């Protein structure tokens, strides 16, 4: 049955697909569920078990308290999304964890979606102002379709944040290379090192080529 006939079919929302046959070869998106209710973990796994995004499946990780969640995030640097309950071992355990992720772990990449069964316990307007979270949902409104949409949107955002971070790192490396290029040594002396550095920035690989142009008639440096 296609999505034109089935309103609950949400496959069309994840429009970016990898080539056929590559799904199992790609590293999965890692999603951490932090909730003290075991049924929430089971339902989340059931709802997201067959979801893929850009040819990558989801790997669902579990933590049952804010402290467990912090420990897992401290050890795992590639978690893309945290589905985080607000009320666990304390009434604000989820909020405390969200703050620790940003301030103690300095992790600005991971997307944080708060889920609560008691919306009045932590008013949405206050939470989104006081805490660096990416979304806030009442558990009662998270149907399978809405959970799917939330997860795909979060993964897309995470991917873009990763690209920005990589570009920033690449720019820093490029500035270092530029400094080296303008050293006084002859081009022939610095070419191998420069080629290696530039290749690392623009990902040319070991088969890259460095071209040097000299103006016609330019006087050769005297020994």
Closest CA to 27 of 36, 15, 18: 18
d(C-alpha 207, C-alpha 42), whole Å: 49
Residues 108-126 have a mean pLDDT of 87
d(C-alpha 93, C-alpha 197), whole Å: 46
Percent of the chain predicted with pLDDT > 70 = 65
pLDDT over threshold 70, residue 186: no
**What length does the chain have?**
223
- The pLDDT score that the predictor gives to residue 194 is 57
d(C-alpha 119, C-alpha 161), whole Å: 29
Residues 196-222 have a mean pLDDT of 56
Residues 19-27 have a mean pLDDT of 62
Tell me which fold the domain 11-164 belongs to. Rossmann fold (3.40.50)
- The pLDDT score that the predictor gives to residue 5 is 47
pLDDT over threshold 80, residue 168: no
- The pLDDT score that the predictor gives to residue 195 is 58
d(C-alpha 144, C-alpha 44), whole Å: 9
């Amino acid at each position: 049955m296609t999505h034109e006939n089935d309103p609950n079919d949400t496959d069309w929302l994840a429009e970016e697909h990898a080539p056929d046959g590559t799904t199992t070869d790609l590293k999965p998106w890692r999603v951490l569920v932090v909730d003290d209710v075991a049924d929430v973990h089971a339902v989340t796994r059931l709802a997201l078990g067959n979801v893929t995004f850009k040819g990558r499946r989801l790997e669902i990780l579990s933590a049952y308290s804010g402290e467990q969640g912090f420990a897992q995030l401290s050890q795992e640097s590639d978690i893309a999304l945290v589905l985080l309950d607000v009320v666990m071992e304390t009434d604000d355990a989820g909020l405390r964890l969200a703050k620790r992720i940003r301030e103690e772990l300095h992790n600005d990449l991971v997307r944080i979606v708060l889920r609560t069964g008691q919306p009045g316990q932590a008013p949405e307007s206050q939470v989104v102002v006081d805490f660096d979270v990416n979304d806030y949902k009442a558990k009662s409104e998270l149907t399978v379709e809405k959970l799917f949409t939330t997860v795909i949107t979060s993964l897309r955002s995470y991917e873009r944040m990763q690209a920005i971070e990589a570009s920033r790192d690449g720019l820093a490396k490029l500035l270092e290379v530029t400094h080296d290029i303008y050293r006084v040594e002859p081009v022939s002396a610095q070419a191998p090192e420069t080629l290696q550095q530039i290749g690392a920035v623009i990902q040319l690989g070991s088969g890259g080529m460095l071209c040097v142009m000299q103006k016609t008639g330019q006087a050769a440096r005297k020994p």
